Chain A
Amino acid sequence: MAMAAAESSRLGNLLYSQKDFTSKKRDEFEDILEERRQSSDLRYAMKCFTPVVYKGLSPCKPSAIKNIVLQSEQLQYVIKQLSKETGESPDIIQEEASEILDEMSHNLQLGAIRIFAFSLSKIFKRLFQRVRLNEEGIQRLQQAIQEHPVILLPSHRSYIDFLMLSYLLYTYDLSLPAIAAGMDFMVMKMIGELLRRSGAFFMRRTFSGNKLYWAVFAEYVKTILKNGYAPIEFFLEGTRSRTAKTLTPKFGLLSIVMEPFLKREVFDTYLVPISIIYERILEESLYAHELLGVPKPKETTSGLLKARKILSEDFGSIHVYFGQPVSLRTLSSERINRCTYNLIPRHLPQKPSEEIQDFISDVAYKMELLQIENMVLSPWILIAAILLQNLPSIDFALLAEKTLWLKDLTQAFGGFLEWPDNLCAKKAVRSSLALHSNIVNLVNDQVVLNDQGMEAGTTEEVVFKRALSILMCGAYRNQLLNVFVRPSLVAVALQMTHNFRKEEVYGCFAFLRGIFSDEFIFFPGIALKDFEEGCFLLTKCDAIQVTAQEILVTEKGSTIVSFLTAMFKPFVEGYQIIYRYLLKETNEAFVEKQFLSGLGNFGFQLLAAGSSHCYEVLSSDMQKNALAALVRLGIARKMKTNNGFTYAVSKEALNKTAEMFESRIPIRKPVAARL
C-alpha cells in the first residue's frame, strides 16, 4: 500500500502527459545535403555568419567568462572551504582551479568553425545519402534562443552526433552550442583543439570525488547559461548507446543547468529534445565488438584516420528532429516548493532536496521520452526485427510481406515511420538489404545473416561471429522496441500468467517493468499508466479485448501477441540465464569484472552446446543492466571497496525472483492496481 501511495503522489505532478496516439502530428523533413551537392562548399564555409542571440545577452569573450567563473562567489566559497579543510593556501587552490578551467573551457573561434564547416561538408556528402531535418523545429529553436537560455539535448548514438548538430546550426545561422564532451576527445591532438575552438568544452568522465573540479565545472556551465552566451548541449544518456536503446539518463549535468532557473537567476530555461537517427550507424561493428568485451580502442587522431576507409562506404540517411522547446518554468509550476532555495544564500553549495531530485529525474525521463517519440524508424529496422525471429534465414518474398505487416502495426502503435519515396515493400526491403550488406546477404531468394567464414573457424569463433551479427542486427531491432515496449510487456505478461485476469496480468506487467527499468525508458512511478497505454495500443489494433475483469486475446491478436513476445524473448531469456548463473556459479561477493567474465563463459558454453540460442546474453550491456536492476530491487547489494565496487547477491531473494520470472511461482499480489 505504501508503494501505491507513493506512486499516486508522484502521479499528481503531471510531468508525464498521456500521449495522443490518434493525432500525432510531426513536421516534414528537408534534406540539407541536396543544396551542399549543388553549390560551393567553400562559399558555404565563408558565408556571413550572424546568428540571433539571447535578448539578455551580455556579450563577452571566452576569456572574460573564465574570469567571471574564477571570481564568482560560488567558486571563491568552495576554494575557501577547501583551504580550511586541507590547510592549503587559497592562492594555490585558485591556481589549480584556473588550470582546471583551462583544461576544460572552450574557445569558440569563427575560423575553426569555417574549417569544420568546409571539411564536414566534404565528409558528410561522402558518407551519407541525405541529412534530413525538420525546418519548423529549427524555426522554433531560433525563436527560443532569443527568449531564454537554451539547453540542447540530443540523443547519442555516434560521434557524429555533436559534429552534425553544430554543422546544422551553422547551416541555419544559429548560435553554435557550447558542448559538454568527454575528455577522451581532448587527448586527440589537433582534433581536440579544433573541437575546442568550435565550442566544445571537456569534462572528465568521473569527478564525483573532486570537489574543486565539480565546483569549477558547475560554475563554468552556469556562467555560460546565465550570460546567454551560447546554447549548452550535452547528452542526457551520458555516453553513446551501443545498443541503440535509449540509456537511462544521467542527472549531473541536467541538475547543473536547471539550477539557475530553480534559484531564479534566470526567468526561464528551454530544454530542446533532439532525436538523431542513423539509417546505418557508423560505429555499428565497433559497438558489437565492445559489447562482446573486445576492448574499446582509445580515441586517437591516427585511429580516426584509419577510420578513413569507412569514407568509401554508404551510410544511408540521417534524420534529425528538433523537438518542441520545453519551458522549465512550465514544468516546475505547482511542482516545486519555492521556499527550497530561499533560506540559504544562493552561492552556498546546497544539496538538492529530495523533491528537487525527483523533479530533476522526472525532467530527464520526460526529455528522453520526447527524444524517443521523434525517432525516425526506417524499413531496415522492421526487417531486423523480423529477421531475428527467423534465423538462420527467411524467404525474401515472405520477408517483404511480413515487413509490410509490421509497417502497419508500427503505424498503429504511433511509430514515426519514414518510408523512402513511397517505394513498394519489395523495393524498400531490397534497398535496405543492400545498404546493410555487411550484416545480411540475399542468397537464392533467401535472406541470411552474414556469416562469412563461419564454417571454417573453431566453435568459439563461430559463436563469436554469430553473436557479432546478431548484436549488430539487434541494435536496429532495439529501435523498434522503444515504440513496442509497453504493448510487448503486456503481451509477455499475458503469456506468463497463463490466465486472463486483468489484475494478475497487471501484476506481471509491473513486475517485468520493474525488472527491465534499466533496459528501457519508463517514466518513474507510473506503471499503471504504462500498462493502460500498452493495453490501449493492443486494443486499437484489435489484438486484445479488455473487459472489467479480463484481458482476452482475439483470434487476429494471437499473431501480434506472439510476434511481440518473440521480439522480447532475448531479454526474458537472457535475464533467466543471468539469474541461473548467479544462483549456481558465484561466490558470496564479486566485482563487476568477475561477474562479466564468469557470465560470459557460462553463456558461451550454453551457446556452444546449443542448449540456448540467446546470443544477446553475451552483451555486456544486458549483463550490466541485469545486475543494476538487482541492486535497484534490493536483491543484490553494491558496496564500495578499495578497488571499486563489490556486489553480493541474496540468493534467497534472487531465487524467488527467478522463479517468478520463469512463471514457476505466481507473482506477488499486485500492489493496489486500481484497474
Chain B
Amino acid sequence: VSCPKMQELLKWNGWGYNDSKFIFNKKGVAEFTGKRYRLGGLVLPLLKEWMEKTLGASIEHKTTSRTSLNTSDVPPPIENQEFLQDLRTAKISYSQEAEDRVFRAHGHCLHEILILREGMFKRIPDVIVWPVCHDDVAKIVELACKHNLCIIPYGGGTSVSSALECPADERRTIVSLDTSQMLYEKNLTAHVEAGIIGQDLERQLGESGYCTGHEPDSMEFSSLGGWVATRASGMKKNIYGNIEDLVVHIKMVTPRGVIEKGCQGPRMSTGPDIHNFILGSEGILGVVTEVTIKIRPIPEYQKYGSVVFLNFEQGVACLREIAKQRCAPASIRLVDNTQFQFGHSLKPQVSSIFTSFLDGLKKFYITKFKGFDPNQLCVATLLFEGDREKVLQHEKQVYDIAAKFSGLAAGEDNGQRGYMLTFVIAYLRDLGLDYYVIGESFETSVPWDRVLDLCRNVKERIVKECKERGVQFAPLSTCRVTQTYDAGACVYFYFAFNYRGISDPIHVYEQIEIAARDEILANGGSLSHHHGVGKLRKRWMKESISDVGLGMLKSVKEYVDPNNIFGNKNLL
C-alpha cells in the first residue's frame, strides 16, 4: 500500500505546497517562501502595513495552528473486513492510515481549514482506495454495492463547497475513492483517465505541442474528473470554453452500471444531453473515470496587458462593450479599487533606484497628469493568446475600446503580476489565520445590467452585517469581474475580517456569508458560477432551479443510485 507522492508535497492544514507560504521574517517583513512561484523568495515590504491598515491585524497578535496531526484525536474507522478482503483479492491499493483519511476528509472551505488547525472532524473516510483504471473503479463500485458502503469520490481536494465533508450521520463505512493514481494515458488524442491533475495534464500534452487550455485557478491541484463533476470554469474560457464545452466524451461508473455515449460525434440530437447529468453531479451519482477532451495546439504567442480606469463603473462599461463586440482576450478581469490596492501591497522590494524612480514617475503620470484618484481607480488585467500578428491586432482593438471609456494602458508587467497573484492569493489565507484574520472567496454570475448594483450591494451588505454582528474591525470586502459572457459576467468576491474580540468567529463568519449569498440572489445573481453547491449552498437549490427541477434531479439519483452508495449528500 503506497502513499501517493503528491500528498507529501502538500500542507496538511492549509493551501498548496509545504514549501510555499507567506511569513513574517525575523525583521518583521513579509516574505513568500519557496521557489515554485515568481514571488518565491521575495520580500514584500508593503504587505504588513496593508494588513494593519485594511484589516486591523497586528503582528503582535498571533494564533498558531497545531503543527501536526494528533492521530489519537482521529475518529476510529468503521471497518468492513469483507470489503477489505475483496479489495486485496482485486489488488486495489488502499489505506486506513489516519493521515491519509484526514487528508481526504475536507476541501478548502474556511471552516474546514479551521477544524484542521484547531479541532477534528466528526466523521472522516474510513478507508482510502486508489484505483488505477476504469476497471478498478467499476470493481470498487460493485463491491460497495455488494457490502452496502458509501463512496465519496476524491480528485484534487480543492473543493470550496463542503462537497468532500463526510455526512456526520453516515453509519456505513465511507470509502474515499481517490482517483489520483489513474493517470496513465491510453493514447494522445486526449482520451485521459479522470484522476489526472491539471498541471500534469497540461505538461504531458505540452510535450506533444498541445494543451486543453482549461486553467482554473486551482489547476495545480485539481483533477480532470473533479472539473467534470463540478462544472468547472477556466481562466481562458473565452478561447477554449468551460469544461462543458471541452468534453467530448465521459465515462462514469455508477451503482447501476457504466454511463457513456455510443460515439464521439461533436454534437448530437438524441434527447437531453446525458453529459448534463454528469457535469456538476458533485459525486452523488458515480465516479468519472475517463474523459475525452478537446485539445488545441499550444499558442505561438502570449501577451499580458493591463488597463487603468477612472473608476469601477467605467471599467464594467468597458468590459461590457468588449463582450458585446465579442473580442474578449483569452482572459480579462477587472479588479475593484480595494483589490488594486491589495495587489499593490504585494509588490516585492524593488531592486534598483532606477525602477523605483520609474514607478514614481508612472504613479505621477496617472494620478497627477491624468487625474486618476488612487482611491477610485481600478485595473483590468488581460491575457492575449494566438499567433503573434493576430495577438497584436487584437490587443490594439481592445485598447481602442478601453480608450473610449477613458482607460489607460498600464503595461504588461501589471497584467502578469495580476495573474500570478491568483495562484498565490490562496496562500495568503493561511497567513491571515495566524493573525486572527479569517476570510474566504465566493462567486456568482449575473446579467450585465445588474453587475454594478450587485457588486455594490453585496460589498455593502458584508460591511453592514459585520457591524451588526460585532466585528470590531472594518472587513475586507472586495470583488472583481473575472469572466465575461454575451449575457453577463462572473463576479468573484473576497471577504475577510479580523475576529479579535469575537467569541465565536466561525459562526459569525458563516452568518455573514449566508447574508452575502442572500444578497447576491436578491440582486439577480446565481447560486454559483463554478464553485458548485456541495453541502454549503444546498439550502438555496430549490429557489435556484424550482421544485420540479429539483424533483428531476432527485429522480435521476433515485434511479442511478437507489441505495445511496454515493452518499456524500451534496446538491440535493
Contacts and interface: CB of A to CB of B under 8 A. Distances in A.
A590 interface: no
B447 to A, nearest CB: 7
A75 to B, nearest CB: 15
Nearest to B461: A267
Interface string B521-539: 1111000000000000000
Given A264-B454, A267-B456, A267-B460, A345 B522 contact: no
Centre residue among A267, A339, A346, A347 by max chain B CB count within 10 A: A267
Contact of A341 (B457, B460, B518, B524): B524
Contact of B524 (A264, A267, A347): A264
Given A264-B450, A345-B447, A345-B449, A338 B457 contact: no
A626 B522 CA distance: 42
A265 interface: yes
A208 interface: no
Nearest to A342: B524
Interface in A9-67: none
A339 B547 CA distance: 14
Centre residue among A264, A341, A345 by max chain B CB count within 10 A: A264
Contacts of A342: 521, 524
Interface string A470-494: 0000000000000000000000000
Nearest to B521: A338
Interface in B419-463: 447, 449-450, 453-454, 456-457, 460-461
A346 B450 contact: yes
Nearest to A260: B453
Contacts of B543: 339
A264 B449 contact: no
Interface in A264-280: 264-265, 267
B336 to A, nearest CB: 15
Contact of B449 (A338, A339, A346): A346
Contacts of A347: 449
A227 to B, nearest CB: 13
A264 B523 contact: yes
A345 B524 CA distance: 10
Interface in A339-382: 339, 341-342, 345-347
Contacts of B461: 267
Nearest to A265: B453
Interface in B172-208: none
A264 B522 contact: yes
A345 B457 CA distance: 18
Contacts of A345: 447, 449
A210 B342 CA distance: 52
Contacts of B518: 338
Nearest to A56: B456
A568 B521 CA distance: 50
B522 A338 contact: yes
A265 B457 CA distance: 8
A341 to B, nearest CB: 7
A341 B521 CA distance: 11
Interface in A240-274: 264-265, 267
B450 to A, nearest CB: 7
Contacts of B450: 264, 346
Interface residues of B, number: 15
Nearest to A333: B518
A342 B546 CA distance: 14
Centre residue among A342, A345, A346 by max chain B CB count within 10 A: A342
A246 B195 CA distance: 72
A347 B524 CA distance: 14
A264 B447 contact: no
A82 B518 CA distance: 37
B521 A264 contact: no
A551 to B, nearest CB: 43
Interface string B507-520: 00000000000100
Interface string B82-113: 00000000000000000000000000000000
Nearest to B525: A342
A347 B453 CA distance: 14
Interface in A111-127: none
Contacts of A264: 450, 453-454, 457, 522-524
Contacts of A265: 453
A633 to B, nearest CB: 37
B119 to A, nearest CB: 32
Interface string B335-354: 00000000000000000000
B529 to A, nearest CB: 16
B537 to A, nearest CB: 15
Contacts of A267: 456-457, 460-461
B391 to A, nearest CB: 35
Contacts of B447: 345
Nearest to A332: B522
A341 B524 CA distance: 8
Nearest to B546: A339
A265 B455 CA distance: 11
Contacts of B460: 267
Contacts of B453: 264-265
Interface string B247-272: 00000000000000000000000000
A563 to B, nearest CB: 47
Nearest to B523: A264
Nearest to A334: B518
A338 B450 CA distance: 14
Contacts of A346: 449-450
A424 to B, nearest CB: 49
Interface in A309-348: 338-339, 341-342, 345-347
Contacts of A339: 521, 543
A136 to B, nearest CB: 22
B376 to A, nearest CB: 12
A267 B454 CA distance: 9
A135 B337 CA distance: 38
Nearest to B515: A333
A346 B446 CA distance: 13
A160 to B, nearest CB: 38
A345 B450 CA distance: 9
B90 to A, nearest CB: 49
A334 B460 CA distance: 19
A347 B454 CA distance: 16
Contacts of A341: 524
A154 B524 CA distance: 34
Nearest to B448: A345
A342 B521 CA distance: 9
A353 to B, nearest CB: 15
Centre residue among B447, B450, B454 by max chain A CB count within 10 A: B450
Interface string A393-409: 00000000000000000
Nearest to A226: B453
Interface string A499-528: 000000000000000000000000000000
A345 B447 CA distance: 9
Contacts of B456: 267
Contacts of A338: 518, 521-522
Centre residue among B447, B457, B518, B522 by max chain A CB count within 10 A: B522
A228 to B, nearest CB: 13
A222 to B, nearest CB: 13
Nearest to B526: A342
Nearest to A263: B453
Contacts of B454: 264
Given A264-B524, A267-B457, A338-B518, 7 more contacts: A264-B450, A264-B457, A264-B522, A338-B521, A338-B522, A342-B521, A347-B449
Shortest beta-carbon contacts, A-B, top 9: A338-B522, A342-B524, A264-B523, A267-B460, A267-B457, A264-B453, A265-B453, A264-B457, A338-B521
23 contacts: A264-B450, A264-B453, A264-B454, A264-B457, A264-B522, A264-B524, A265-B453, A267-B456, A267-B457, A267-B461, A338-B518, A338-B521, A338-B522, A339-B521, A339-B543, A341-B524, A342-B521, A342-B524, A345-B447, A345-B449, A346-B449, A346-B450, A347-B449
